[in-house]
Amino acid sequence: MKNGERTISSALKNSILLVTSNENKYKEIAEIAKDYKVELEWLKIPKLEIQADTLEEVVRYSAIVIFQLVKRPLIVEDSGLFIKSLNDFPGPYTNYVRRKLGLEGILKLLEGKNDRSAYFKTSLCYIDEARQLLFNGTVNGRISDTIRGEKGFGFDPIFIPEGESRTFAEMSTEEKNRYSHRSKAFKAFLEYYTNQ
């Protein structure tokens, strides 16, 4: 019966809820998790986000609130663009700023600034009955001078990753994923989770 027990316990262990209202995000991440034989279930709810200067604070709070409701192991993730010469703006408010100021707003704020360096970052929080764990993934790069490319979403058309001349929006999904801050964060978690 030892094998049977192990199967049951692995099945329980490997079912984790991923909290996001974005189906593409769920699909992208579930694909990565499959490589690690971890099953992600999609919990399609908008996550409650607090105002904070760091992504880590945002996802920790969301995770604990949602865990108190569903009482099952789950992951909350959040991503942001941090621009050095703007004191890390827009950071945790990246989606809001994208909607309100657009790509043009960011280019305007950077007019006349020599330092255009920036990074994308994902923070994810895994929570279960015993633990709350944080994992990060980042991709360094710079803000382009103009809007370029049609692919991707968010600030992709003005972000050029290190070692590249194209923006994220000029790359295929596959190319972009090689750099992806989000996949880095999830791989860090999955490495930890499957090797504990």
User: Is 88 designated active site?
Assistant: no
Judged by CB under 8 A, the residue of 8, 27, 37, 105 near a copy of itself is 105
| Gap between the terminal Cα atoms of the chain | 23
Stretch binding a copy of itself (CB under 8 A), from 7-15, 34-42, 95-103, 123-131: 95-103
Specify whether the CB–CB gap between 137 and 180 falls below 8 A.
Answer: yes
Host H or E run for residue 98 = helix 94-110
The two structure tokens encoding residue 140: 């360094």
Site for a copy of itself in 111-150 (CB under 8 A): 111
CB atoms within 10 A of CB 28: 16
Q: How far is the CB of 54 from a copy of itself (least distance, A)?
A: 12
Asked, as a colleague might, if the bond just before 73 is cis with ω within 30 of 0, I would say no
71 marked among binding-site residues: no
Of 58 and 127, which CB lies nearer to a copy of itself in the complex structure?
Answer: 58
Give, to the nearest 10 degrees, the angle between helix 23-35 and helix 181-195.
Answer: 40
Options 53, 78, 128, 145, the catalytic residue: 78
Q: Residue 53 contacts by C-beta under 8 Å, 6 or more apart in sequence? A: 88, 91, 92
| 89 contributes a contact to a copy of itself by CB under 8 A | yes
Number of residues binding to a copy of itself, judged by CB under 8 A: 24
Site for a copy of itself in 43-82 (CB under 8 A): 48-51, 53, 58, 61
Residue in this structure with the two tokens 């058309």, named with its chain if needed: 157
Q: How far is the CB of 99 from a copy of itself (least distance, A)?
A: 7
Which spans of this chain sit near a copy of itself (rule: CB under 8 A)? 48-51, 53, 58, 61, 86-93, 96-97, 99-101, 105, 108-109, 111
For the annotated catalytic residues, the residue numbers are: 78
